[in-house]
Structure 1
Amino acid sequence: MKILGKIALATVAAVSFASVAQAGDFSLSVYGGYQTAPHSGVSGNDGVADFDFTTGWKGKSFEMPPYYGVRGTWWVRDNFGWIADFNHTKVYANEGDKADNGFSTLEFTDGLNNLTVGPIWRWPGLWSNFTPYASVSAGIIIPHVEVVNANTDTIEYQIAGPTVALVLGASYELNDRWDLFTEYKGTYSQLDVDLDGGGNLESDIITNALNFGVTYKF
C-alpha cells in the first residue's frame, strides 16, 4: 500500500475515534477467546524473487502473546451507540507451507492488531436477562511483521492496510456496573507490508473468534 494511503487510513481512524468520544454513556469491555484463520493466498516479492502461494494459518490463541481485545462503547441512545475496538488477532503460517516456499519465518505473532470504529446496535430485554447486540466496524491493521527468508529479514510494526470487523453477541447484566458477554467476531484484513530489501508481501486474511468478556459501565 502506498505511504499516503497508509497515512490517510490512520488519520480517518484517529478522527473517527475522537468524534465518537463526544457521545453519552460509556462502557469499557475486555475479552479473550479462541481465534482461528482459514487459508489465504500470499504473494509479493522478497527484493530478489517473486512468490505466490497459498498457506494455512494457525491462531494459537492461548500461547504468548495471547489473543485478546479491548473495546470502548459510547451509547448515544439505549439501543444505539459507537464502538472503538482494538483486537490483538494473530496468525502463524503452516510450517510445511512456509518451508516449501523458502520462508523460515512467516507470522504476525505480536498481532495483526485490528483497530476499528463503527456503530453498534442492541435490543434490551429481547431475550429476558440477555441483551443481543451487533456491530460492524472498519479501520486499520498495525501488524508486527515477522517475515524471514534468504533475501529478507523483516521484524517490525507497520501500518499495513484496511480492515473490517463483524460482531454478533449477547450480554448478561450482573448489576448496574458489570456485564458478562459472549460473541462471535470476524475480521477481514487486506494486508500489504513492506519487506527489508525493497520487496512487499500481500495477503487477505480472515479471522474467526469466539469471545468471552466482561464490561464495566461508567
Structure 2
Amino acid sequence: MTKFLKSAFAALFLTAAPAAAEMELSLYLGVQSVDESTVSGVLPGGTPVNRSFDWEGRPLDSPYYYGGRAIWWTDSNIGFGIEGTHAKAYASTADLVAIGASSFELSDGHNIITANVMKRWPGAFKNYQKFTPYIGGGLGVAIPHVDVTLNGSAGRTFGYENTGMAVRGIAGLKYNINDRWAIFSEYQFTWSDNDITIDPDPTVIGQLPGRVSTDLLTHAINVGVSYSF
C-alpha cells in the first residue's frame, strides 16, 4: 500500500507540474460524525467479536477535528494535491460494555491521508463572481491512533497503525476575499477499510494479539480559509 501511495503522489505531481498555474493551501475545522459499522474479529486470547458499533465523532472535544490540503491548480481548473484529515471515532458506552473494554477509540486521529484530484468552476455564478463551486475526490490510507484498553488486562494498545485503504469525496463553495485569500465551506466524506491490531496482555504468557476489522464512513461539514500563490 505504501509503494502504491508513493506512486500515486508522484503521478499526480508529474501530471500537474507542466501546466501548474496556481498553488492553494487550505486549512479547515468542522463538525464530523461517524456511521455505525460492524466490528468483527477476535480480541487478544481469541474472544470473538461481531457487533455493530454506534461510533461517536465528538469533533468539538479535544483533540479537535481538523484538516488541511495543498492543491496545484492547472490552467484548465483541474487540481492535484495532498490532503490530511484528523477525524475521530469513539466506541459508545454500550459497545464498551459489550466487549469488556474501558476504551476503544481512534481519538488522536482517525487520520486520513489522500492524493486528490479536484475540479473548480470560477465564474459559475454570473452575478456572484467571487463564488467558486468545486468538487474533488481522493485515494489514500487510514493511519489512526488506536487506543484500546480491555477490562482485566495489564496492557494497553496505544499507537499509530496503518489500517488500510481510504477514499475521500468533497463538494464545496469558495468565496474569494481577494486574489490571495478566500474562505470556504464544504461537505466531505471519508471511507476507510480498517484492520486493527490489539496488543495482548503482557502478563499472560503466549497470549496472541487480537485483530478486528471494520469499515468507517465519516461525514463532515467544514469551514476554512485558503491562501493562493
Task: Specify if TM > 0.5.
Answer: yes
**Corresponding residue of 1:74:** 72
Q: Could you tell me which residue of structure 2 aligns to residue 133 of structure 1?
A: 134
**SS at the partner of 1:89?**
strand
The equivalent residue for 1:14 is 6
Q: How many angstroms apart in 1 are the aligned matches of 2:183 and 2:7? A: 30
Rounded Cα–Cα distance in structure 2 between residues aligned with 1:19 and 1:215: 24
- Provide Cα deviations, 1:43-79, integer angstroms capped at 9, x if missing partner: 1111221111111111111111100001000112242
Counterparts in 2 of 1:159-170, with a 5 A limit? 159-170=162-173
The answer on whether the counterparts of 2:13 and 2:81 sit within 8 Å (CA) in structure 1 is no
Are 1:184 and 2:187 matched, yes or no? yes
1:199 has 2:210 as partner: yes
CA distance in 2, matches of 1:101, 1:27: 45
In the TM superposition, residue 83 of structure 1 has moved relative to its aligned partner by: 2.4
Counterpart CA distance in 1 for 2:5 and 2:216 is 20
Quick one: which amino acid aligns to residue 17 of structure 1?
F
The farther-off stretch of 175-184 and 120-129 is 120-129
Normalising by the residue count of structure 1, what TM-score does the alignment of the two structures yield? 0.92
Larger Rg: 2
Residue 111 of structure 1 corresponds to which residue in structure 2?
109
Shift of 1:93: 0.8
State the AA in 2 paired with 1:134.
Answer: I
- In structure 2, give the amino acid aligned to 1:153: R
**Take 1:113 and 1:173, find their aligned partners in 2: how far apart are those partners?**
29
- Please state how far the C-alpha of 1:118 moved relative to its aligned partner: 2.2
Residue 41 of structure 2 is matched in structure 1 by 44
Whole-Å separation in 2 of the counterparts to 1:37 and 1:17: 27
Measured on the aligned residues, the alpha-carbon RMSD in Å equals 1.4
- Range with greater deviation from structure 2 (39-48 or 143-152): 143-152
Three-state SS of the structure 2 residue aligned to 1:112 is strand
SS at match of 1:47: coil
Deviation at 1:19? 4.1
SS in 1 for 2:5: helix
- Residue of 157, 160, 163 corresponding to 1:157: 160
CA shift for structure 1 position 209: 0.1
1:210 aligns with 2:221: yes
> What residue ranges of structure 1 are gaps of 5+ in the alignment?
1-8
- Give the Å deviation of 1:136: 1.0
Deviates more, 1:168-177 or 1:76-85: 76-85
Match of 1:4 in 2: none
TM-score by length of 2: 0.87
Find the residue that maps to 1:90 and give its secondary structure: strand
Letter aligned with residue 25 of structure 2: L
- The Cα offsets for residues 121-147 of structure 1, whole Å up to 9 and x where unpaired, read as 011111222111000101001100111
- 4+ runs deviating over 3 angstroms: 18-22
Identity %: 36
**Is this contact kept in 2: 1:20–1:74, CA < 8 A?**
no
Moved more, 197-206 or 148-157: 148-157
